Amino acid sequence: MQERLKELQTEALERVNTAGDLKELNEIRVSYLGKKGPITEVLKGMGKLSAEERPKMGALANEVRDAIAAAIESKQKNLEEAAVAAKLAAETIDVTLPGRPVKSGNHHPLTRVVEEIEDLFIGMGYTVAEGPEVEKDYYNFEALNLPKDHPARDMQDSFYITEDILLRTQTSPVQARTMEKYEGKGPVKIICPGKVFRRDHDDATHSHQFMQIEGLVVDENIRMSDLKGTLEVFAKAMFGSDREIRLRPSFFPFTEPSVEVDVSCFKCGGKGCNICKKTGWIEILGAGMVHPNVLEMSGFDSKKYSGFAFGMGVERIAMLKYGIDDIRHFYTNDVRFLKQFSIHE
Amino acid sequence: MYVSYKWLQDYVDLSGITANELAEKITRSGIEVEGVEKLTEGISGVVIGHVLEREQHPNADKLNKCLVDIGAEEPVQIICGAPNVDKGQKVAVATVGAVLPGNFKIKKAKLRGEASNGMICSLQELGFESKLVAKEYAEGIYVFPESVEVGKNALEELHRDDEVLELGLTPNRSDALSMLGVAYEVAAILGRDVNLPEGKASEAAEKAEDYISVVAEAAEDNPLYIAKVIKNVRVKPSPLWMQARLTAAGIRPHNNVVDITNYILIEYGQPLHAFDYDKLGSKEIVVRRAKDGEEIVTLDDAKRTLSSDHLVITNGTEPVALAGVMGGANSEVQADTTTVLLESAYFKGSTVRKASKDHGLRSEASARFEKGVDPNRVRAAAERAAVLLQQYAEGEVLAGSAEANTLKIEPAVVEVSIDKINQVLGLQLKSEEVVDIFTRLQFEAVAEQGQITVTVPTRRGDITIGEDLIEEVARLYGYDNLLSTLPVGSTTQGGLTQYQQSRRIVRNTLESAGLYQAITYSLTSEAKASQFALEVREPLPLAMPMSEERSVLRLSLVPQLLEVLKYNSARQNDSLAVYEIGSVFLSTGKDQLPEEKEHVAGAVTGLWVNHPWQGEKKPVDFYVLKGIVEALVDKLGINDRIEFRQTERDGLHPGRTAEVLIDGKACGYIGQVHPIVEKELDLKATYVFELSLESLLAETAPLVYEAIPRFPSITRDIALVADQEVSSGHLLSIIKEAGGSLLKEVSVFDLYEGERMEAGKKSLAFSLKYFDPEKTLTDEEVVKAHTKVLEALEEKAGAVLRG
Ligand SMILES: [Zn+2]
């Protein structure tokens, strides 16, 4: 009897081991462990055994039963896992195929530059002031110390609508309008972006419409060194922290003294290259101390207040920053151009 | 202004400073030097040659075979194509091995079978600008005076061993429109002296006044007129050094008399004019305003009709010159001229400016008068010209001059305090340092108790107020020496206005929906200006447009966005979405600023969904763009104030256009571009919208948190049958109104217009969601509300449940 049980165990484990699927395994379970299975059959002969041997044999039979059940369970787990693996293998996809495109546009590069500059100056306590594109001659010129017969008016040939109304040639009229609003009381701290217009034929370096951004600070005791320091902050933020600036004397009717501001070349670091025309410096903006006539005309006491102003062409900054070679790109809006400005840097 | 480095050395000692170093110093202290040109750059091996023989080339009509002595052991044979080459001439020869501009190397050659060992040069071939070559040599080789020595460096004989600084002058620095002006500037920068030209002509016994009288009738336009008379002049070429200096300054040499007037123009900044005295036809000069319709033929042989705005020099009866602009042809100095009347005058800038503008005549002379010449140099310039005419035209200078003079010359006296200087610049200079800077500029400066009083020479008419003096101090002290500080004083809060913040949100929302931002021109053509305009007004035209294409201000952003689509579509990008935020301009009447309204517009064309390998391709349609507009108003928190209403507009598809309203007021539109317009632009189906940004952003609602519902909601779906013409929006508004406070959400989930419907009918299905934030809804409550909705639908729109 004992041998028979051992035999059954060996035979059953062998069959479990070679079972190919769950169905076969189930048949094995039924045939060995079922009520009509061989183990039950063997145990029916227990009555012939002595009272001492009977519990021993019972224990052995349970052992055999448990061993087979455990083998079946373990095999079942293996077979189930294999079935899942096979199913998943059949579901394999090509992960290198492209994903469904998510629609996304982006800022025009000029907006990108303007917002960057706005945010920099907002951080320094400036607000953003805006004004009309169609301006009165008074705000565009006269309030900026450019009376009607001033020779400097030749510097910027303008689009007039009537004798007294024109497309603004600069964003400076916003400064004049803003100062007027402050009614002679500082501090004024503004940054003014906007579209401006000049009589130029459109080509690679000229555009009859372009964007400017200007800054103005008016307060008691504003010094030229404050202008220099502010522009240094600007140059480092826009073009890199190791940039330096230099001021060169210049002329604008609305500032005195007036300067042009160069930034050390960000391509060659000042050694000289084709971008900086071998000088190591790149001109980026014009600036100066607000002319006392401008302060007075806008209602500020020039004895008490002083100020500085600066202004730059946004296209120029964008062209330098991104290496764009033709100003017309900004206004043809070729999507192959526009979409390049989506990356956050 | 072009400044010859060699010429400048007449007035300032430049020893130890190269032209490039000087350029850098000038730039850093006030006047931008835009370039330094070495005139002999890239040229070598050019010598003086003597043409010993010339005969026609045996095989070529237009070529000459020349035998030229170039100072070598043997003369060389050179084939020359210039029409004016001849035996006996002294010429410039580029010898074998020479290099000419453009890295053109001269080699031994054979031309039509004849050996050619070098090249006889024109001035253009030696790097002269064509417009600066004297007319007689413009078409051929240059011929030297007899006196030059064979074999010498030809460029040195031409005084070309020089460098030219190009100054970019700002309008305030017209004082540097002369060599003397530049000399004062350079002397101040270097801390050196200025040497002024000296000498006076020896005068004849005869008096100028016996030959000419001067009357200035328009004294305000012409407060000073000096006329000198020089007899027995010999008109001939001026000396080579003078020609070279004029050429370096950008002026073409003519003859000695004209060249001398131009030389003084550059040296003193004072324009002069030389008349042929014998051609004047009278013994008087009368300066007056022209009569309307009066005519003059100017030196360029153009007949010009004058008006009383223009100042003329007359012989008492007819004009002989347009004052300060150009002389008349009738009194021009020519080869046979013997007596010269020399004019040196002060003409008012604005008068000259008007004439030069009206006649399109910009000359070196008019440019200087317009900006104001130094009144103190008018006489000195005339005297200096007389010296040169005596020296280089063998002229006999008559005693004195005939004059009209009402000019008062008062140098400006300007004050500034040392404290003010230091406050503006953020420095701590002492009075003595500041006075020293003015002394270097040759300004008279006195410091007394911190107050600095400066007498400004008349040559520096740009300095009139204290701030001008501060600038002089700053630039000569050096901007590099300024500190870098940041403004101190009251703190200000930076930031964007509510409107500016919302506008950024609009940009970001449209971009994340897939639209690229475009920026187009505010100026457009008259035809395009009012197309698609939200509000149609007469477009505002420019007084003098540069082209028809950019002649009026736009009333809509859409036409140019369509241009953008067209441009890209023609370049294989026919699926594209763009938007723009910009102003449109509404005229409010003449001499008034127009109303500028900021709009936002978008245009979408081609495929909206394009994911080909999964078989997904879907063209843009009305509802794509409407979805974008809805997302935008959603983001701005104004969706429940917005309404879309079926409408028709010019340029848009009559059945696929909606008016957009905010609080019942029109604020924009959305629709398909009319197929005819699409075809014109060669575009696929294209949808556009334009909205008034100001209307959208006028009011913003504060964000208030609403509790998340704690009780379940109940949803009822209904399928309705309604007439075709009944819009879903209409049904929706009926449902919302009838649903009362328990109805929280309604949405359309099906539309059926197929064959299974009765003709003229359609089926629309809505999903209605009811809930009560306070408690769990009972069936009865929902039934009650829902019944009301169904009744209202039938009553107001004839819509019934689909059986
Ligand atoms: Zn560089």
DSSP 8-state assignment for residue B130: G
Query: Is B425 in Cβ contact with A135 (below 8 Å)?
Result: no
Amino acid (one-letter) located at B517: Q
CB atoms within 10 A of CB B481: 9
Q: Is the pLDDT of residue A156 over 60?
A: no
A79: three-class secondary structure by DSSP: helix
Residue in this structure with the two tokens 């104001």, named with its chain if needed:
B372
Provide the token pair at B328: 């008349």
CA gap B541, B587 in Å, rounded = 10
B614-629 mean pLDDT: 95
Tell me which chain B residues have a C-beta less than 8 angstroms from the C-beta of A220: 489
pLDDT value, residue B697 = 93
CA distance B46 to B100: 9
Contacts with B467 from chain A: Cβ below 8 Å: 256-257, 289, 291-292
A132-165: string of b/e by CB count within 10 Å (b at 16+)? bbbbbbebbbbbbbbeeeebbbeebebbebeeeb
CB contacts of A136 in chain B (<8 Å) are 593
Q: Please say if the pLDDT value at position A118 is more than 90.
A: yes
Asked if the model's pLDDT at residue B11 lies above 70, the reply is yes
Q: Which residues of B fall within a CB distance of 8 Å from A229? A: 483-486
Calculate the dihedral angle through the C-alpha atoms of B109, B111, B117, B119, rounding to the nearest 10 degrees.
-110
pLDDT in tens, B180-221: 999 999 999 999 999 999 878 888 889 999 999 999 998 899
Q: Which two tokens stand for residue A119?
A: 């945010």
Question: Which of A140, A161, A169, A329 to probe the B interface (max B CBs under 10 A)?
Answer: A161
Distance in angstroms (rounded) separating the CA atoms of residues B374 and B270: 8
ipTM value of the model?
0.87
CA quadruple A93, A95, A98, A100: dihedral sign: positive
**Chain B residues in contact with A306 (beta carbon < 8 A):** 423-424
Q: Which residues of A touch B611 (CB under 8 A)?
A: 100-101
User: Quick check: B573 and A336 CB within 8 A?
Assistant: yes
Q: Which residues have C-beta under 5 Å from ligand 1, the single-atom ion?
A: A 265, 267-268, 273, 275-276
In the predicted model, is pLDDT for residue B731 greater than 90?
A: yes
pLDDT value of residue A12 = 84
Average pLDDT over chain A reads 90
Distance to chain B for A76, nearest Cα, Å: 39
Q: What is the mean pLDDT of chain B?
A: 93
Of the pLDDT bands very low, low, confident and very high (cuts 50, 70, 90), residue A166 is: very high
CB contact (8 A) between residue A335 and residue B516: yes
For the stretch B379-398, pLDDT in tens is 999 999 999 999 999 999 99
A173, amino acid identity: P
Q: How high is the pLDDT of residue A269? A: 82
Interface contact flag, A333 B488, Cβ < 8 Å: no
User: Which chain A residue is nearest to residue B470, measuring alpha carbons?
Assistant: A257
Mutate to test the interface with B, among A96, A134, A264, A303 (most CBs of B within 10 A): A134
Q: Measured between CA atoms, how close is A298 to chain B, in angstroms?
A: 18
Contacts of A345 (CB under 8 A, 6+ apart): none
Q: Which amino acid makes up residue A282?
A: I
pLDDT digits (tens, 9 = 90+) for A34-45: 877 777 777 777
The predicted pLDDT at position A152 comes to 66
Quote the DSSP letter at residue B282.
Answer: S
Query: Using a CB-CB distance cutoff of 8 angstroms, which residues of chain B are in contact with residue A197?
Result: 522-523
What separation in Å is there between the alpha carbon of A264 and the centre of ligand 1?
8
Is pLDDT at B802 greater than 90 in this prediction?
no
A272 Cα to the center of ligand 1, angstroms:
4
Which residues of chain B are within 8 Å of residue A165 when distances are taken between CB atoms?
591-593
Task: Give mean pLDDT, residues B112-119.
Answer: 90
pLDDT computed for residue B172 by the predictor: 86
Q: Dihedral sign for Cα B661, B663, B664, B666, please.
A: negative
Residue of A nearest to B521 (CA): A209
Among A154, A226, A251, the residue with its CB nearest the CB of B173 is A251
Angle of helix B240-248 versus helix B256-268 axis, rounded to 10: 50
Task: Work out the minimum CA distance from A7 to partner chain B, whole angstroms.
Answer: 60
Span B407-433, mean pLDDT?
A: 93
Which residues of chain B make contact with A101, given a CB cutoff of 8 A? 610-611
The radius of gyration of chain B's CA atoms, rounded to the nearest angstrom, is 41
| Residues in A touching B506 (Cβ below 8 Å) | none
Cβ contact B424–A223 (<8 Å) = yes
Q: Which residues contact B193 (CB under 8 A, 6 or more apart)?
A: B12, B13, B187
Beta strand segments in B562-704, E: 576-586, 595-605, 607-611, 616-619, 642-646, 652-662, 665-673, 686-692
Select the residue of B28, B500, B592 nearest A128 (Cβ to Cβ): B500
Taking an 8 Å cut-off on Cβ atoms, the answer to whether A149 and B513 are in contact is no
**pLDDT for A151 beyond 70:** no
Q: Closest by alpha carbon to B192, among B419, B12, B362?
A: B12
- Whether residue A1 is predicted with pLDDT greater than 80 in this model: the reply is no
| Ligand 1 center–CA B65 separation, angstroms | 51
Residue B514: list chain A partners with CB under 8 A: 103-105
| pLDDT value for B329 | 93
CB nearest A246 (choices: B480, B495, B507) = B480
DSSP 3-state of A212: strand
B593 and A165 within 8 Å at the Cβ level: the answer is: yes
Q: Is the pLDDT of residue A260 over 70?
A: yes
For residue range B268-303, what is the model confidence (pLDDT) as tens digits?
Answer: 999 999 999 999 999 999 999 999 999 999 999 999
Judged against a pLDDT cut of 70, whether residue B147 lies above it is answered with yes
Question: Is the Cβ pair B492, A125 closer than 8 Å?
Answer: yes
> Which residue among A125, A233, A251 places its CB closest to the CB of B171?
A251
Cβ-nearest to A125 among B370, B482, B491: B491
A9: DSSP letter? H
Kindly tell me the sign of the dihedral angle through the C-alpha atoms of B147, B149, B150, B156.
negative
The answer to whether residue A312 scores a pLDDT higher than 80 is yes
| B419 CA to centre of ligand 1 in angstroms | 40
User: How many beta-carbon pairs under 8 angstroms link A with B?
Assistant: 242
> Quick one: pLDDT band at residue B584, thresholds 50, 70, 90?
very high
pTM of the model: 0.83
Is residue A202 helix, strand or coil?
Answer: coil
Dist CA A2 CA A64 (whole Å): 10
What are the phi and psi torsion angles at B354 (to 5°)? -60, -45
Of A123, A165, A201, the CB nearest to B591: A165
Residue B160 pLDDT? 93
**What percentage of chain B exceeds 90 in pLDDT?**
80
Inspect the interface and report whether the beta carbons of A104 and B512 lie closer than 8 Å.
yes
What's the pLDDT tens digit per position in A54-68?
A: 888 888 888 888 888
* pLDDT score at A155: 53
Q: What is the pLDDT of residue B797?
A: 92
C-alpha–C-alpha distance, residues B283 and B274, integer Å:
15
The mean pLDDT value for A148-154 works out to 70
- Which residue do the tokens 């979805």 mark? B627
What pLDDT digit, counting tens, does each position of B150-182 carry? 999 999 999 999 999 999 998 889 999 999 999
B495/A127 CB distance under 8 A: yes
CA distance B35 to A311: 25
Calculate how close chain B gets to A264, using CA atoms only, in Å. Answer: 14
The beta strands (E) that lie in chain A are given as 127-128, 134-136, 160-162, 165-167, 188-197, 209-220, 245-252, 255-264, 281-290, 305-313
Q: Quick check: B787 pLDDT over 60?
A: yes
- Asked if B542 and A260 come within 8 Å (Cβ–Cβ), the reply is no
Q: Mind telling me how many Å the CA of A326 is from chain B's nearest CA?
A: 15
pLDDT at B240 exceeding the cut of 70: yes
